[in-house]
Structure 1
Amino acid sequence: MIDDRKAPQVPRSRRPQHHGPRSSAAVPRCRQGAGALSPADGEAELTVTVAGAHGGTLVAAVTGEIDLRTAEELRARLIELGEELTAAGQGRLVLNFGGVGFCDATGLGALVGAHNHLHARGGEISLAAVRPSQRRLFRITGLEQVFPLYDTVAQAVAAGRTSSLS
């Protein structure tokens, strides 16, 4: 006989994982506009904003969460920036990750997709101000070999200057 007073237990490995506060309401789609990605309803989810150019290096600030909802928009925006760079005869993109609160495997896939696109055209992507937990993710996945990681944007920009002189 089954005791219907107890709820069935889901094994731990099958329970949904919760990564911070999220509502059960429909997740807004992001759209491009004025050089940044922002959710259609105005709630801040992810932004990619051009922060400056230094020689052949373009610096863009990424803020928000990079996950299943925002990864494709991130990839598309980075490819767009990469196209602009290579069309101008440049090719180095530094992403300031200081404002990225969360990045999952889907986000890593988006970064790799943008990297592959830019690399095929002679460009590269470097990351600056990556949080320790995200650095660990890059190390575990081996992506620290693909993306140079710097403590600051200034270090990333300076490294590009010295590598172009070699």
Structure 2
Amino acid sequence: MTEETRRAARAGRRPPEVRCGAGALRSPSAQGAPSVHAADGLRIETSRVRADTAVVAVAGEIDLRTAGPLRDLLVETHGRLPGARPRRLVADFAGVPFCDAAGLGALVAARNQISAAGGEIALAGVRPAQLRLLKITGLHRLFAIHRDVETALSCHDSPTRSG
């Protein structure tokens, strides 16, 4: 990429503090009300499930312009839910029609940060094309992948964790 194309790409971006929504995540209330965050066509809804698990429903395409906000919000969700820090995030990808390499990179970056803090990310509702991409890249070894959120939550409760 030339310096000219980099400048052109940067000109179209919003500043990081706007793009990632830092501080914009509203923590779910004690009644379990979800928080909703939208960035560049990506909608992310977070709900508290129980003390050690939060579900993050993702809707929209994950690409170069939405990967950063996704990564930031996953890490922020892990660190900012009220009460005890959730040990586990379940990212529901049922509403994600497309995820490119930038999206995979964002998931890995979020996983690395959350893992360093003692947490984990599980994926649920991953479409067949995305699952194939995860397997081709070997990333299926980094994430527990489940058919749907309910399976991810029940597998977390049982001694065996396959989905």
Shared topology, TM-score over 0.5?
yes
Find 1:101's aligned residue among 97, 103, 113. 97
CA distance in 1, matches of 2:116, 2:122: 15
Alignment-derived partner of residue 78 in structure 1:
74
Larger Cα Rg: Structure 1 or Structure 2? 1
Structure 1 residue runs of 4 or more that deviate by more than 2 Å after TM superposition? 26-37, 84-87
Opposite residue 127 of structure 1, the aligned amino acid is L
> 1:90: how far off?
3.0
> 1:85: how far off?
5.4
> 1:30: how far off?
4.1
CA distance in 2, matches of 1:50, 1:143: 24
Q: How does 1:13-162 map to 2 (within 5 A)?
A: 30=19, 32=21, 33=24, 34=26, 35-39=35-39, 45-84=41-80, 88-162=84-158
CA distance in 1, matches of 2:84, 2:76: 13
Alignment-derived partner of residue 7 in structure 2:
none
Structure 1's 163 and 76: CA in aligned 2 closer, same or farther, altered over 3 A? farther
CA distance in 1, matches of 2:102, 2:83: 28
Q: TM-score, normalised by structure 2?
A: 0.74
> 1:100: how far off?
0.6
Query: Identity of paired residues, percent?
Result: 42
Alignment-derived partner of residue 14 in structure 1:
none
SS in 1 for 2:65: coil
CA distance in 2, matches of 1:65, 1:45: 7
Structure 1's 101 and 27: CA in aligned 2 closer, same or farther, altered over 3 A? farther
> 1:37: how far off?
3.2
CA distance in 2, matches of 1:86, 1:92: 14
Structure 1 vs Structure 2 CA RMSD: 2.3
Q: TM-score, normalised by structure 1?
A: 0.72
Alignment-derived partner of residue 8 in structure 2:
none
Structure 1's 54 and 61: CA in aligned 2 closer, same or farther, altered over 3 A? same
53-62 vs 113-122, which moves further: 53-62
Which structure 1 residue ranges, 5 or more long, are not aligned?
1-25
The superposition leaves residues 40-69 of structure 1 with CA deviations (integer Å, 9 ceiling, x where unpaired) of xxxx71011113413411111001011000
CA distance in 1, matches of 2:87, 2:65: 27
Structure number having the greater strand percentage:
1
